[in-house]
Amino acid sequence: MLELSDLTQRYGNVLALDGVSFSVERGRICGFLGPNGAGKTTAMRAVMGILEPDAGTVRWEGRPINDDVRRRFGYMPEERGLYKTMGVREHLVYLARLHGQSRGDALVSADRWIDALGLTERAESKVEELSLGNQQRVQLGGALAHDPELLVLDEPFSGLDPIGVDVMSEVLRKQAAQGVAVVFSSHQLDLVEDLCDEVVVVHRGAKVLAGEVGALKHEGRRRFAVGIEGDASPALEAVVGVTLVTRRPDGVVVVELEDDVDPQVVLAAASTAGPLTHFSRELPLLSELFRRAVAA
């Protein structure tokens, strides 16, 4: 398990991290979210030991992280970087070896990832001869080539085409299934919603929301979408504890219920107003949760 506790980092007058704590268990995918400049990259660099935070600790499997432990992590920085004149296979082998693999193991796993990432044809090409999308695949391969226990990926989906997104998502799912802890940052919230078991949202250096995606969606007031032939809103607004949120173009009305209101009462009120065409629980999109958390 990866544990960040009370990470604090100041750059001049800017508090980049303000006591951020969260944890990610092995086998789980955590989406690390936040507006630009929220402190995501700083936190990820602290995990990777590239930056020594002013305060706070990072632990893996309950212990502080030393060089040998860190070599079992895989990292993809936001600013991609590879040696442009090295060959693809050569580069992956080099990175795997820097992470402690023997030459033989490094060769085997480099080839395995070259195949898995669809780079077989380009294995001997220089990095600079590849398209940006393919360079990104090599970058991911570099993070994976030494079979890490933890993957820290800063914006892994940015710049990928839909097929690239699918490849990346598939790789992350498989890694998690094999027991790897995965943390990645992204602004593509629909992707995060599909992929992540849990999310952490930071804003201005502080954690503002964290938890399992499913649980977070069920937090707060319940919402229902109600449709009848005709306008349901007058009947629904008449129920105590029900507020109108929006009316959709197709006439379906979304209402929010106070905690003590029974949905059956709402259903009954709607049915009396006219023949029922639609009744469903509305869960907020992750993007709505995000916006609310960041606006607060």
Partner 1 sequence: MAGAAIVRLVAGRELRERSRQKSFKLSTAFIAVALLATVILPQLLTDDEPDSYDVGVVGAVPELVRSTIDGLAAATGSELSVVEVSDLGAGETRVADGSLDLLVTGGEVVVDEQPEVSTTLGRVSGRLAQVLSLSAGFTEAGLTSEEAADALSRGPAPVRSLAAADGEADVASDSPQPLLILGVILLYLSLLTFGVAVATGVVEEKTSRVVEVLLSAIRPHHLLAGKVLGIGVLGLAQLVMVATPALVVAIATGTELPSGSLQTVGSLVLWFVLGYALYSCAYAAAGSLVSRMEEANNTSFPVTFALIAAYGGAIFVGNAPDSGAARVLALFPPTAPLAMPTRAALGDTAWWEVPLAVVLTLAATYGLVRLAGRIYAGSVLRFGPKVKLRQALR
In the complex, the smallest distance separating the C-beta of residue 287 from partner 1, rounded to whole angstroms, is: 29
Q: How far apart are CA 68 and CA 99, in angstroms?
A: 9
Nearer to partner 1, 70 or 207 (CB): 70
- Residue of the chain from 62, 64, 68, 240 that contacts partner 1 (CB under 8 A): 68
Report the 10 Å Cβ neighbour count for 195: 22
User: Coil, helix or strand for 40?
Assistant: helix
- Residue of the chain from 62, 67, 162, 250 that contacts partner 1 (CB under 8 A): 67
> Does residue number 14 form part of the binding site for partner 1 (CB under 8 A)?
no
Nearer to partner 1, 96 or 236 (CB): 96
Tokens of 27: 């086998």
> Does residue number 79 form part of the binding site for partner 1 (CB under 8 A)?
yes
> Does residue number 26 form part of the binding site for partner 1 (CB under 8 A)?
no
Q: How far apart are CA 291 and CA 286, in angstroms?
A: 9
179 neighbors 2 (Cβ within 8 angstroms): no
In the complex, the smallest distance separating the C-beta of residue 54 from partner 1, rounded to whole angstroms, is: 12
Give, as ranges, the residues between 91 and 150 that touch partner 1 (CB under 8 A).
94-95, 97-100, 139, 142
Q: How far apart are CA 201 and CA 192, in angstroms?
A: 12
Residue with tokens 């639609």: 278
Give, as ranges, the residues between 209 and 268 that touch partner 1 (CB under 8 A).
none
Beta strands 29-33 and 198-203 are parallel
List residues near partner 1 by CB under 8 A: 45, 48-51, 67-68, 70-71, 73, 75-77, 79-86, 94-95, 97-100, 139, 142
